[in-house]
Amino acid sequence: MIHLFLSPHFDDAALSCGATIHQLVQAGKQVVVRNVMGGIPQAGRLPDSPVVHELHDRWERGENPVEARIQEDRAALHSLGVEIIRMTIWLDCIYRTRRDGTPFYTTWPSVFDMLHPDDPAATLLPTVTLPHQDKYACIYAPLGVGNHVDHQAVRNWALELHRHLPWVALKLYEEYPYTETPGAVETALQHYATLNPPLELDVEVMSVSEADAEAKIHAVGLYDSQLSSFFRDRDEMRQRILTALQQAGKGTLAERYWIIKP
Protein backbone atom coordinates (compact mmCIF):
# COMPACT_ATOMS: atom_id res chain seq x y z
CA MET A 1 0.00 0.00 0.00
CA ILE A 2 1.42 3.33 -1.11
CA HIS A 3 1.67 6.53 0.91
CA LEU A 4 1.45 9.13 -1.87
CA PHE A 5 2.62 12.71 -1.31
CA LEU A 6 1.42 15.24 -3.89
CA SER A 7 4.06 17.97 -4.04
CA PRO A 8 3.26 21.08 -6.10
CA HIS A 9 6.94 21.99 -6.46
CA PHE A 10 10.23 20.19 -6.09
CA ASP A 11 10.74 21.13 -2.43
CA ASP A 12 7.25 21.12 -0.93
CA ALA A 13 7.14 17.51 0.24
CA ALA A 14 10.46 17.74 2.06
CA LEU A 15 9.76 21.17 3.55
CA SER A 16 6.31 20.27 4.83
CA CYS A 17 6.39 16.52 5.42
CA GLY A 18 10.04 15.47 5.50
CA ALA A 19 9.94 14.09 9.05
CA THR A 20 6.74 12.14 8.41
CA ILE A 21 8.17 10.74 5.18
CA HIS A 22 11.31 9.57 6.97
CA GLN A 23 9.23 7.97 9.72
CA LEU A 24 7.09 6.08 7.19
CA VAL A 25 10.13 4.83 5.27
CA GLN A 26 11.83 3.68 8.46
CA ALA A 27 8.66 1.76 9.32
CA GLY A 28 8.92 -0.11 6.03
CA LYS A 29 6.11 1.70 4.24
CA GLN A 30 6.19 2.38 0.50
CA VAL A 31 6.38 6.15 0.02
CA VAL A 32 6.02 7.92 -3.32
CA VAL A 33 6.37 11.66 -3.94
CA ARG A 34 4.60 12.85 -7.07
CA ASN A 35 6.00 16.21 -8.20
CA VAL A 36 3.07 17.81 -9.96
CA MET A 37 4.50 20.98 -11.53
CA GLY A 38 7.52 19.04 -12.74
CA GLY A 39 7.80 20.08 -16.38
CA ILE A 40 10.88 21.73 -17.85
CA PRO A 41 10.20 24.95 -19.81
CA GLN A 42 11.99 25.50 -23.08
CA ALA A 43 15.00 27.68 -22.33
CA GLY A 44 14.48 29.90 -25.37
CA ARG A 45 10.77 30.43 -24.72
CA LEU A 46 10.65 31.57 -21.10
CA PRO A 47 8.03 34.20 -20.25
CA ASP A 48 9.48 37.70 -20.13
CA SER A 49 7.99 38.56 -16.75
CA PRO A 50 9.36 40.22 -13.59
CA VAL A 51 8.81 37.15 -11.43
CA VAL A 52 10.71 34.85 -13.83
CA HIS A 53 13.65 37.25 -14.02
CA GLU A 54 13.76 37.71 -10.26
CA LEU A 55 13.68 34.01 -9.46
CA HIS A 56 16.22 33.03 -12.09
CA ASP A 57 18.59 35.71 -10.84
CA ARG A 58 18.13 34.49 -7.28
CA TRP A 59 18.58 30.81 -8.11
CA GLU A 60 21.78 31.44 -10.13
CA ARG A 61 21.49 28.10 -11.89
CA GLY A 62 22.08 29.06 -15.54
CA GLU A 63 19.65 29.75 -18.36
CA ASN A 64 17.19 27.06 -17.33
CA PRO A 65 17.42 26.37 -13.59
CA VAL A 66 14.58 23.84 -13.50
CA GLU A 67 16.92 21.01 -14.48
CA ALA A 68 19.18 21.93 -11.55
CA ARG A 69 16.17 21.98 -9.24
CA ILE A 70 15.25 18.49 -10.41
CA GLN A 71 18.71 17.25 -9.46
CA GLU A 72 18.40 18.87 -6.03
CA ASP A 73 15.01 17.27 -5.52
CA ARG A 74 16.30 13.85 -6.54
CA ALA A 75 19.13 14.08 -4.02
CA ALA A 76 16.86 15.34 -1.23
CA LEU A 77 14.10 12.77 -1.67
CA HIS A 78 16.51 9.91 -2.21
CA SER A 79 18.11 10.86 1.12
CA LEU A 80 14.68 10.21 2.66
CA GLY A 81 14.39 6.89 0.83
CA VAL A 82 11.35 7.56 -1.35
CA GLU A 83 10.32 6.90 -4.93
CA ILE A 84 9.88 9.99 -7.13
CA ILE A 85 7.37 10.47 -9.93
CA ARG A 86 7.74 13.70 -11.91
CA MET A 87 4.70 14.87 -13.87
CA THR A 88 6.28 16.48 -16.92
CA ILE A 89 3.18 17.98 -18.53
CA TRP A 90 2.63 20.71 -15.92
CA LEU A 91 4.95 23.69 -15.58
CA ASP A 92 5.42 25.87 -12.52
CA CYS A 93 2.87 28.69 -12.61
CA ILE A 94 5.49 31.31 -13.46
CA TYR A 95 6.07 29.53 -16.80
CA ARG A 96 2.47 28.78 -17.77
CA THR A 97 1.16 30.88 -20.65
CA ARG A 98 -1.79 31.32 -22.95
CA ARG A 99 -1.47 30.03 -26.50
CA ASP A 100 -0.16 33.41 -27.62
CA GLY A 101 2.67 33.16 -25.07
CA THR A 102 1.24 35.65 -22.59
CA PRO A 103 1.96 34.43 -19.04
CA PHE A 104 -0.89 33.94 -16.60
CA TYR A 105 1.13 34.97 -13.54
CA THR A 106 3.63 37.79 -13.97
CA THR A 107 3.97 39.29 -10.46
CA TRP A 108 4.16 38.03 -6.90
CA PRO A 109 0.62 39.21 -6.06
CA SER A 110 -0.72 37.18 -8.99
CA VAL A 111 1.16 34.05 -7.82
CA PHE A 112 -0.63 34.24 -4.47
CA ASP A 113 -4.06 35.20 -5.80
CA MET A 114 -6.86 33.21 -7.40
CA LEU A 115 -6.14 30.60 -10.06
CA HIS A 116 -6.60 32.14 -13.49
CA PRO A 117 -9.80 30.69 -15.01
CA ASP A 118 -8.00 29.95 -18.30
CA ASP A 119 -5.06 28.22 -16.61
CA PRO A 120 -5.13 24.53 -17.64
CA ALA A 121 -3.92 23.60 -14.17
CA ALA A 122 -7.20 24.99 -12.83
CA THR A 123 -9.44 23.22 -15.32
CA LEU A 124 -7.63 20.05 -16.41
CA LEU A 125 -5.51 18.92 -13.46
CA PRO A 126 -8.57 17.94 -11.37
CA THR A 127 -9.59 15.53 -14.15
CA VAL A 128 -6.34 13.53 -13.95
CA THR A 129 -6.68 10.03 -12.51
CA LEU A 130 -4.10 7.91 -10.71
CA PRO A 131 -2.87 4.58 -12.11
CA HIS A 132 -5.66 2.09 -11.41
CA GLN A 133 -3.23 -0.71 -10.58
CA ASP A 134 -1.69 1.20 -7.65
CA LYS A 135 -3.13 0.65 -4.20
CA TYR A 136 -3.01 3.62 -1.84
CA ALA A 137 -3.01 3.68 1.94
CA CYS A 138 -3.09 7.48 2.09
CA ILE A 139 -2.80 10.53 -0.11
CA TYR A 140 -1.10 13.62 1.34
CA ALA A 141 -1.80 16.96 -0.33
CA PRO A 142 -1.34 20.69 0.40
CA LEU A 143 -3.86 22.37 2.69
CA GLY A 144 -3.43 25.67 0.83
CA VAL A 145 -1.47 27.65 3.43
CA GLY A 146 -0.04 30.74 1.73
CA ASN A 147 -2.55 30.57 -1.16
CA HIS A 148 0.08 29.87 -3.85
CA VAL A 149 -1.83 29.14 -7.08
CA ASP A 150 0.03 25.87 -7.65
CA HIS A 151 -0.86 24.70 -4.16
CA GLN A 152 -4.48 25.62 -4.83
CA ALA A 153 -4.44 23.56 -8.03
CA VAL A 154 -2.96 20.48 -6.34
CA ARG A 155 -5.31 20.85 -3.37
CA ASN A 156 -8.29 20.94 -5.74
CA TRP A 157 -7.00 17.85 -7.53
CA ALA A 158 -6.60 16.00 -4.23
CA LEU A 159 -10.17 16.83 -3.19
CA GLU A 160 -11.42 15.51 -6.52
CA LEU A 161 -9.36 12.34 -6.11
CA HIS A 162 -10.89 11.90 -2.66
CA ARG A 163 -14.36 12.23 -4.14
CA HIS A 164 -13.62 9.35 -6.52
CA LEU A 165 -11.53 7.31 -4.04
CA PRO A 166 -13.31 7.86 -0.70
CA TRP A 167 -11.84 4.68 0.75
CA VAL A 168 -8.33 6.15 0.51
CA ALA A 169 -7.38 8.36 3.47
CA LEU A 170 -6.63 11.99 2.57
CA LYS A 171 -4.39 14.07 4.79
CA LEU A 172 -3.86 17.74 4.01
CA TYR A 173 -0.46 18.99 5.10
CA GLU A 174 0.41 22.46 6.37
CA GLU A 175 2.87 24.03 3.96
CA TYR A 176 6.11 25.15 5.57
CA PRO A 177 7.41 27.87 5.72
CA TYR A 178 4.09 29.61 4.94
CA THR A 179 2.92 28.29 8.31
CA GLU A 180 5.22 30.79 9.99
CA THR A 181 2.92 33.65 8.94
CA PRO A 182 0.46 34.38 11.77
CA GLY A 183 -3.08 33.38 10.81
CA ALA A 184 -2.04 31.67 7.57
CA VAL A 185 -3.32 28.22 8.57
CA GLU A 186 -6.62 29.66 9.78
CA THR A 187 -7.03 31.54 6.49
CA ALA A 188 -6.40 28.35 4.53
CA LEU A 189 -9.01 26.47 6.56
CA GLN A 190 -11.67 29.04 5.67
CA HIS A 191 -11.64 27.82 2.06
CA TYR A 192 -13.19 24.48 3.00
CA ALA A 193 -16.28 26.13 4.47
CA THR A 194 -16.97 27.78 1.09
CA LEU A 195 -17.15 24.50 -0.84
CA ASN A 196 -20.39 22.88 -1.93
CA PRO A 197 -20.99 20.95 0.21
CA PRO A 198 -18.82 22.56 2.92
CA LEU A 199 -16.10 20.40 4.43
CA GLU A 200 -15.17 20.32 8.10
CA LEU A 201 -11.62 19.35 9.00
CA ASP A 202 -10.04 17.83 12.09
CA VAL A 203 -6.38 18.29 12.96
CA GLU A 204 -4.10 15.28 13.31
CA VAL A 205 -0.74 15.68 15.04
CA MET A 206 1.86 13.16 13.91
CA SER A 207 4.70 12.88 16.42
CA VAL A 208 8.16 12.42 14.94
CA SER A 209 11.52 11.49 16.43
CA GLU A 210 14.74 13.48 16.60
CA ALA A 211 16.10 11.22 13.85
CA ASP A 212 13.09 12.09 11.68
CA ALA A 213 13.67 15.78 12.31
CA GLU A 214 17.35 15.52 11.45
CA ALA A 215 16.52 13.64 8.24
CA LYS A 216 14.13 16.44 7.27
CA ILE A 217 16.72 19.14 7.98
CA HIS A 218 19.31 17.26 5.93
CA ALA A 219 16.91 16.87 2.99
CA VAL A 220 15.86 20.52 3.01
CA GLY A 221 19.53 21.51 3.07
CA LEU A 222 20.05 19.75 -0.27
CA TYR A 223 17.86 22.33 -2.06
CA ASP A 224 20.76 24.73 -2.48
CA SER A 225 18.98 27.02 -4.95
CA GLN A 226 16.00 27.50 -2.65
CA LEU A 227 17.63 28.15 0.71
CA SER A 228 18.17 31.87 0.13
CA SER A 229 14.45 32.29 -0.60
CA PHE A 230 13.53 31.17 2.91
CA PHE A 231 16.56 31.37 5.22
CA ARG A 232 19.59 33.56 5.91
CA ASP A 233 21.85 30.55 6.31
CA ARG A 234 21.82 26.85 7.19
CA ASP A 235 21.97 27.45 10.93
CA GLU A 236 18.82 29.56 10.76
CA MET A 237 17.17 26.93 8.56
CA ARG A 238 17.86 24.23 11.13
CA GLN A 239 16.62 26.29 14.07
CA ARG A 240 13.45 27.45 12.34
CA ILE A 241 12.52 23.94 11.21
CA LEU A 242 13.04 22.59 14.73
CA THR A 243 10.95 25.45 16.14
CA ALA A 244 8.15 24.72 13.66
CA LEU A 245 8.18 21.02 14.56
CA GLN A 246 8.05 21.84 18.27
CA GLN A 247 5.21 24.31 17.75
CA ALA A 248 3.22 21.74 15.78
CA GLY A 249 3.61 19.28 18.65
CA LYS A 250 3.11 21.90 21.36
CA GLY A 251 6.49 21.17 22.89
CA THR A 252 7.28 17.85 21.23
CA LEU A 253 8.41 17.27 17.64
CA ALA A 254 5.52 16.79 15.22
CA GLU A 255 4.03 17.63 11.83
CA ARG A 256 0.34 18.49 11.52
CA TYR A 257 -2.24 17.27 9.01
CA TRP A 258 -5.91 17.94 8.48
CA ILE A 259 -8.48 15.24 7.70
CA ILE A 260 -12.05 15.61 6.46
CA LYS A 261 -14.69 14.90 9.07
CA PRO A 262 -17.10 12.08 8.09
Q: What is the CATH number of the domain that holds 29?
A: 3.40.50.10320
Selection from 200, 154, 199, 193 nearest residue 175 by Cα: 154
Does the structure show a pLDDT above 80 at 2?
A: yes
Q: Residue 229's pLDDT is what?
A: 83
Amino acid present at 50: P
Q: What is the mean pLDDT of residues 47-63?
A: 75
For 127-192, where are the E strands, in sequence order? 136-142, 169-173
- Cα separation, 193 vs 174, whole angstroms: 17
- Cα distance between residue 134 and residue 179, in whole Å: 32
- Residues facing 135 on adjacent strands: none
**pLDDT of 94-152, one tens digit each?**
999 998 889 999 999 999 999 999 999 999 999 999 988 889 999 999 999 999 999 99
Q: Determine the pLDDT at residue 253.
A: 98
Please check the confidence at residue 75 and state whether its pLDDT lies above 90.
yes
Instruction: Tell me the pLDDT band of 63, cut-offs 50, 70 and 90.
Output: low
Q: Which domain holds residue 158?
A: 2-260
CA atoms of 257 and 17, how far apart (whole Å)? 9
Cross-sheet strand order for the sheet of 83-86: 83-86, 30-35, 2-7, 136-142, 169-173, 254-260, 201-207
Of the pLDDT bands very low, low, confident and very high (cuts 50, 70, 90), residue 54 is confident
pLDDT at residue 60 is higher than 70 = no
pLDDT grade for 197, boundaries at 50, 70 and 90:
very high
Domain count, the chain: 1
CA distance 13 to 163: 23
pLDDT averaged over every residue in the chain: 93
Residue 62 has a pLDDT of 59
Length of the chain: 262
